[in-house]
Amino acid sequence: MEENDVYNEFNINERNANEYEADPSVFFNKTGNPFVGFMRFLKRKPVPPKEIDEQEMLQALSEHFSNRAEYGSKSGIQAGGVVVSALLLIVFLFMFKAMNVWLCLTLVLLSAISLAIFIVWNIKSSSALNKKDNKSYTIEEYKAHIIKKAIGDKVSEIIYEPYCGLPQSVYCDVNIASRGNTYHREDLITGKYNNVYFVQSDLNVSSKNTGSEQRRTFTHFSGRWIVIDYPKKFSGTVIVKDKDFVGISRNDLEVITLENPTFNEMFTVSTDDVQLGYYILTPQLVERFMELKQSSKGAIIACFKDGMLHIGIHNRENAFELDVNNLDIAKDTESFAKDFSLVSKTIDILEVNNGFYAQSKTQPSQYQNYSNSTPPKSNGSGIGIQGGRF
């Protein structure tokens, strides 16, 4: 069984193309967990859950990666032997006329025999590895098991897909960071935390310049992308962008200034509806964004769009990574719990499910009549007395 057979992928490039070309709205389910739709183009047969024996799984995977490491060291020697033997064979053939015929024939024969020996050795080593290898468990099953152990007591309805993530068309539709020409996402985790549906994935978006003599890669975003089913429903777009983040400029949005000077020093707010911006960004939520910024290692970008809250944490870190040569269930569970804390901390800090922020499940017909030119009165603390409360 090939490594990815458990997912029954027909053509991952086709899936990526479908995700890129699709209307972003098709990825959000209207009932239940809205983020299950992120796997819309994941073509796979249902894989029934199986009973996990932790010690058996740990032993099987440890043997698997140990065998792979042993084979890797041997294959390096074998590849070197093949190359050297082939080069000597070519050299001796070219020198055939300049050397003693019998000497040259002997050297050619020895080189050919040496080449054959290394090739046969490589084939036998590979065959022996396949027979010896224990494939009763995959590393994906191990990660899924560890994730469930790490967050299962906090998150319900957990779904983990290692090779899925934020669909590219959704990223492009949010339109807060450059698109680049290389898009990589992985480790999709979705479920319900603190009665709030969320999805998270690692995301790396970059531009690779291969047309010039100097190859350069510029990273537009690298870190964690979190989407939250926001309880306060609305139509429109409000972007909160960390001033330390190099994003894109949008002429279709208007920049607004809030009544908190510290927040204004840290973030830029832009929106397609000024009143919506003040309606969503209450004084309490403004304080929470500043707290999130101070507690996170990296720039924060956020986009309230069509009832969803997108949060990107540009920290250049990969989460839920394993040292496959040193698997340890207790250590890996602790590590994964720490990685997930970035998601739970974000939801907790922003108090997404706080009744104060979710007094209405539907957008009111009129927002508070605020505009950038006539902001609410200040109470002297730098925060508006009303500040957008509804």
Longest alpha-carbon distance in the chain: 102
Query: Strand pairing partners for 227?
Result: 199, 310
Length of the chain: 390
Q: What angle do CA 176, 261, 230 make, to 5 degrees?
A: 45
CA atoms of 82 and 61, how far apart (whole Å):
31
DSSP three-state, residue 237: strand
Burial class (CB in 10 A: 0-12, 13-18, 19+), 195: exposed
The pLDDT value recorded for residue 349 is 87
What does residue 146 show for φ and ψ, rounded to 5 degrees?
-65, -40
Query: DSSP readout, 214-226?
Result: S-EEEEEEEEEEE
CA atoms of 260 and 278, how far apart (whole Å):
12
The pLDDT value recorded for residue 13 is 81
The pLDDT value recorded for residue 82 is 53
**CA neighbours closer than 13 Å in the CB half-sphere of residue 12:** 11
Q: Check if the beta carbon of residue 217 is closer than 8 Å to that of residue 345.
A: no
The pLDDT value recorded for residue 70 is 56
In the sheet where 237-242 sits, what is the strand order? 155-161, 182-193, 196-209, 216-229, 308-314, 299-305, 237-242, 267-271, 254-256
- Residue for token digits 């209207």? 30
Q: What is the pTM of this model?
A: 0.75
Show the DSSP H helices in the chain as ranges: 12-21, 54-94, 101-132, 139-151, 168-174, 261-266, 274-280, 283-295, 329-349
- Residue for token digits 């033997």? 85
Cβ partners under 8 Å of residue 127, min gap 6: none
What is the separation, in whole angstroms, between the first and last Cα of the chain?
58
Per-residue b or e along 59-98, where b marks 16 or more CB atoms closer than 10 Å to that residue's CB: ebbbebbebeeebeebeeebeebbeebbebbeebeeeeee
Q: How, if at all, do strands 216-229 and 237-242 pair?
A: unpaired
The pLDDT value recorded for residue 114 is 66
DSSP three-state, residue 376: coil
In eight-state DSSP terms, residue 137 is S
Nearest to 35 by CA among 175, 187, 193, 159: 159
Nearest to 118 by CA among 92, 91, 80, 89: 80
Identity at 270, one-letter amino acid code? S
Cα–chain center distance at 93: 53
Q: Check if the beta carbon of residue 197 is closer than 8 Å to that of residue 228.
A: yes
How confident is the prediction along the chain (390 residues), in pLDDT tens digits per residue?
334 444 455 577 888 888 999 999 999 998 999 999 998 888 766 566 678 888 888 888 888 777 665 545 545 554 555 555 556 556 555 555 555 555 556 655 666 676 667 566 666 655 554 554 546 788 888 999 999 999 999 999 999 999 899 999 999 999 999 999 999 999 999 999 999 999 999 999 999 876 666 678 889 999 999 999 988 778 899 999 999 998 888 899 999 999 999 999 999 999 999 999 998 998 999 999 999 998 888 999 999 998 899 999 999 999 999 998 899 999 999 999 999 999 999 999 888 766 544 444 444 444 433 333 334 333 333 322 222 222
Cβ partners under 8 Å of residue 279, min gap 6: 234, 367, 368, 388, 390
The pLDDT value recorded for residue 96 is 55
DSSP three-state, residue 256: strand
CA atoms of 196 and 230, how far apart (whole Å):
8
The pLDDT value recorded for residue 359 is 41
